[in-house]
Structure 1
Amino acid sequence: MIINGTSLAFPLSLKDIEAALGKPDQVVKRDNKFIKYIYDNTGIVFEHSFSINNHLKKCKTYIDEEHLISTVFLYYGDFVKSMTGEKELPKQPCQAMVLSDGKSPYFFSDRHRVGDFNLILWTPYGTNFNGIAETITDTLSISYFPEIKHERESYKLKETDEELLHFDNINFKLTIIQVLMYDLRVLKPYFDIYDFAEEFSEEEIDTESIEIIQPALEYMINLPIPKKYAEQVQEIDMDGGNEIYMNLIPQWDGEDETFDLNEVGVEELRQFPNLEEATIMSSNFKQVKAVFDEAGIDVELL
């Protein structure tokens, strides 16, 4: 990424950014979740995410704990407007021109992937954008998220005599799959929707779907998860960009309640003795929080 003639190689540190833009006008910290560096007059926000470090280590692009800035938010429009209810915003909208390989990026349902970067247009709820974005009027996020190389494995489910975890709520099971399969990489096989589509022969699978791919969801419903992995789950961090969701709805914009955790049982939670905290997406947070409280797990709304 080149800003003001300065080339920035991701993942970034604050020093890297200051070399191009000077010191930020605002610094916002949220526990151990993120630090936001806000540039008021340029309409740009950089986000230092503590949760990205494991992914970077898996991709062998991790440098140190200072280089965890992986996302840039460009607040376009006639005035600065919030995307997801965030209160700390730059004072002026962004005027920068965004080009990918010298061209305006092409979006499909608000999404675009170029190299190791994911681009998302944060269009108003219930709408999306398809085509070449020559003029951008909505907030644009650019996230450094390199792909993890993995070996192709068969998706044929095997019977096992191992003791298994039990789930009554699929959206809770999906959060556990995210931790074990994508974050910790202990649950096999590593599910990739493109590999799955090639192996799945009963019908053609649309790998650019904006709706849930039912055969993929059925796979997750039936996927056995050995109980021996339960003690490795220490934290749940639900996010619209989680790999599990991108492999079920490849073009999901994260703006609806499809994967909200609105129901979970105390016994489901108590299967994980080391689970201490969770950040969840939910439209029924008050009732779900009561269940987490009963299980002795700290929970907060994304």
Structure 2
Amino acid sequence: MADFQDFNLKLVVVDKLMYVDGTLTPRFDIAELLRDKGLGNDPWMYAYDNDLAYQVLPQARDHFEALEIGDDLLAGVEELVMDGGLRVYAECSPVWDGEDDLFDVAALDDLALLPNLRRVLGSEFLGKTLRDDLRARGIAAD
């Protein structure tokens, strides 16, 4: 099983596998998890009522940090999308508006876990240094 160092890069991979491809199951749903734990029916209200707005909810962080992704699934990732509208971000931080660096990828060391990655769309969100790193690895940075 893969061990990601950059939580935010792991989230981008999770979004691709869980919410786009549907190959990483079961799908995580923060509203369902909060309901099951008796914490309410509205993730927005939960975040505001618990001073967690614009943060990753602890329940989501715990889930995604512990989530194991098999090497076979990782080997199937050929393209990633960097975008503030990823579903995984809404599941992690229901109130987040994309106006800060909460989900910025800091490093690309985990790319070794994605042996067949060929393209990253929205790479402008990574900044010049990380885009140059992608290109140096032979990955298209669109």
Q: For the superposition of Structure 1 and Structure 2, which TM-score range results when normalised by the shorter chain?
A: 0.7 to 0.9
1:269 equivalent among 95, 111, 115? 111
For this pair of structures, how many residues does the alignment match?
132
1:255 aligns to 2:92 (yes or no): no
Residue 207 of structure 1 corresponds to which residue in structure 2? 43
Residue 50 of structure 2 corresponds to which residue in structure 1? none
SS at match of 2:43: coil
Deviation at 1:193, TM superposition (A): 0.9
Residue 239 of structure 1 corresponds to which residue in structure 2? 83
Kindly report which structure 2 residues correspond to 1:82-231, keeping only aligned pairs within 5 A, or say none: 164-200=1-37, 204=39, 207-208=43-44, 209=47, 210-211=53-54, 212-231=56-75
CA contact (8 A) 2:8 2:103 kept: yes
Structure (1/2) with the larger strand percentage: 1
Give the Cα separation in 2 of the matches to 1:198 and 1:281. Answer: 37
Deviation string, structure 1 residues 208-262 (Cα, Å, up to 9, x no partner): 0332211211211111111110122111112111100000111221121111112
Give the Cα separation in 1 of the matches to 2:3 and 2:136. Answer: 19
Structure (1/2) with the larger helix percentage: 2
CA contact (8 A) 1:233 1:274 kept: yes
Give the Cα separation in 2 of the matches to 1:254 and 1:200. Answer: 27
Report the TM-score, using the length of structure 1 for normalisation. Answer: 0.41
Report the TM-score, using the length of structure 2 for normalisation. Answer: 0.82
Closer, same or farther in 2 for the Cα pair 1:219/1:281, shift >3 Å?
A: farther
Q: Percent identity?
A: 29
Give the Cα separation in 2 of the matches to 1:228 and 1:290. Answer: 27
Instruction: Structure 2 unaligned segments of length 5 or more: list them.
Output: 48-52
**RMSD (Å) for aligned C-alpha atoms:** 1.9
SS at match of 2:101: coil
2:123 equivalent among 265, 269, 280? 280
Higher alpha-carbon Rg: 1
Residue 289 of structure 1 corresponds to which residue in structure 2? 131
- Give the structure, 1 or 2, with the largest relative contact order (CA under 8 Å, sep 6 or more): 2
Give the Cα separation in 1 of the matches to 2:57 and 2:74. Answer: 27
